[in-house]
């Protein structure tokens, strides 16, 4: 039957569309528009065509920032997802899991800026906990300027990220483990499977979809990483921890180059969407489990 009030559905949709329009669509479209201009944010705007995109292609710092973020993502896949999976596996076996769950999940509840400030004290080469600890046990040769050395800075930031988010992924995997029917686990045990075999051959395969989601979250979240890098290293030393978001923020808000920054934002968004799209195509529901 044909509706007598064709406008009604749109009126119901209007609030959601307005919010979506203001919060997502308009900023995205404006960013794309700005990317074709030279503009400092409030002065006159000049149309420059694809110059900003050409500049981004030739910009070694921007290019290197993607290398850094990929290394960071690979490190966090181990330190967050793999470690979270391992912790969830341990907690699903032993007793007293509640206390461990709370302990491991607690860092997730802290604002990342607070975490970064806290760890900047831990890593401080002159007053920090790590070097003091190493010194106290006579391991002076292992003392480092953790955040000031190009060989350790990126890993140091990745480690903090792992410290925060391993608990988050642990909770996801723990919840997934709890969904596995007891009958399946009992049957495996009756067939002689130990806890390690149970984890590796039964539990992990059965939560494959949860793992796929966790990996997607970790990868796309890695591209969006900002707070830890901004506070701990601000892209240094010598640009070795510069990632697209920190470089973008410096370009737009420090150098006032909104046009170029917008072009970088468009490129970054396209890459994140591309990665997400490819990943979800490869891991369609039903193709993995």
Partner 1 sequence: MRSPAKHLAALATGAVVLAAACTSAPASDNVLRIAMGSPGEAQIRVWDDVAKQFEAANPGMKVELNYQDDDLYQTIGLQNLLNGRNAPDIYFEWTGNRLAQRVKDGFAADISSKFDSGPLAGLFDDTTLDEYKIEDKIVMVPYSADVTNVLWYNKQILADAGVQPPTSWEELLAVCDTLNAAGVTPIASGNKDLWAAGNWLSHMASRVVGEDAYVSTLGGTGKFATPEWEKAFGYITELADHKCVNESANSIDDNEGAQLFFQGKAAMHPIGSWLVSWAIDEAPDLDFDYVNLPAMPDGAGNQDSVIGVQTGFVINAKSAKVDKAAEFMAMLNSDENVQKLIEAEVTPLTKSASAGQDIDSRSANLTALLNDAPAIVLPPDTGYDLEMADALYAAEAAVLGGQQTPAEALGGIDKKIGR
DSSP code, position 107: G
d(C-alpha 240, C-alpha 214), whole Å: 27
Number of residues that bind partner 1 (CB under 8 A): 39
Minimum distance, C-beta of residue 147 to partner 1, in the bound complex (Å): 4
Please state the closest distance from residue 18 (CB atom) to partner 1, in A. 6
Q: Of 15-23, 76-84, 99-107, 213-221, which part binds partner 1 (CB under 8 A)?
A: 15-23
* Site for partner 1 contains 14 (CB under 8 A): yes
Task: Report the C-alpha gap between 258 and 37 in whole angstroms.
Answer: 8
Cβ 198 vs Cβ 188: under 8 Å: yes
Among 31, 220, 234, 269, binds partner 1 (CB under 8 A): 234
Find the part of the chain contacting partner 1 (CB under 8 A) among 39-47, 62-70, 99-107, 169-177: 39-47
Strand, helix or coil for residue 285: coil
- If one asks whether residue 177 binds partner 1 (CB under 8 A), the answer comes out as no
Q: How far apart are the C-alpha atoms of 104 and 169, rounded to whole Å?
A: 10
* Pairs from 145-153 (Cβ < 8 Å, separation ≥ 24): 147/120, 147/123, 147/232, 147/233, 147/237, 148/236, 148/237, 149/237, 150/237, 150/238, 150/240, 153/233, 153/236, 153/237, 153/240, 153/241
Residue closer to partner 1 (CB basis): 26 or 273: 26
User: In terms of CB distance, is 194 or 256 closer to partner 1?
Assistant: 256
Among 49, 111, 126, 281, binds partner 1 (CB under 8 A): 126
Rounded to the nearest whole angstrom, what is the least distance from the CB of residue 126 to partner 1 in the complex?
A: 6
Answer whether 244's CB lies under 8 Å from 69's CB. yes
Give me the residues paired with residue 46 across strands. Answer: 38
Q: Which of 255, 280, 287, 288 binds partner 1 (CB under 8 A)?
A: 255
Residue with tokens 């896949």: 77
Query: From the list 254, 284, 285, 286, which residue makes contact with partner 1 (rule: CB under 8 A)?
Result: 254
148 binds partner 1 (CB under 8 A): yes
Residues found near partner 1 in the complex (CB under 8 A)? 6-7, 10, 14, 17-18, 21-22, 26, 40-43, 60-61, 123-127, 145-150, 153, 233-234, 236-239, 250, 253-257
């Amino acid at each position: 039957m044909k509706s007598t009030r064709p406008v009604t559905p749109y009126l119901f949709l209007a609030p959601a569309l307005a919010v979506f329009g203001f919060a997502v669509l308009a900023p995205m479209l404006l960013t794309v528009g700005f990317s074709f201009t030279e503009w400092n944010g409030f002065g006159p705007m000049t149309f420059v065509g694809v110059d900003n995109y050409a500049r981004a292609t030739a910009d070694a710092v921007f290019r290197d920032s993607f290398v850094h973020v990929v290394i960071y993502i690979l490190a966090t896949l181990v330190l967050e997802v793999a470690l979270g999976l391992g912790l969830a596996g341990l907690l699903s076996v032993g007793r007293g899991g509640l206390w461990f769950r709370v302990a491991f999940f607690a860092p997730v509840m802290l604002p990342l800026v607070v975490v970064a400030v806290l760890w900047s004290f831990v890593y401080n080469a002159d007053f920090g906990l790590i070097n003091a600890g190493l010194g106290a046990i006579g391991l002076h040769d292992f003392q480092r300027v953790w955040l000031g050395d190009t060989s350790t800075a990126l890993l140091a930031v990745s480690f903090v990220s792992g410290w925060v988010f391993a608990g988050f992924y642990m909770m996801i995997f723990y919840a997934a483990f709890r969904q596995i029917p007891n009958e399946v686990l009992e049957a495996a045990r009756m067939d002689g499977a130990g806890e390690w075999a149970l984890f590796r051959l039964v539990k992990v395969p059965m939560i494959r979809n949860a793992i796929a989601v966790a990996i997607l979250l970790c990868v796309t979240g890695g591209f969006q990483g900002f707070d830890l890098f901004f506070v701990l290293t601000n892209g240094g030393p010598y640009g070795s921890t510069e990632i697209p978001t920190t470089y973008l923020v410096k370009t737009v808000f420090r150098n006032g180059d909104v046009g170029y920054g917008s072009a970088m934002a468009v490129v970054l968004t396209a890459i994140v969407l591309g990665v997400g799209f490819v990943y979800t195509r490869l891991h369609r529901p039903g193709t993995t489990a």
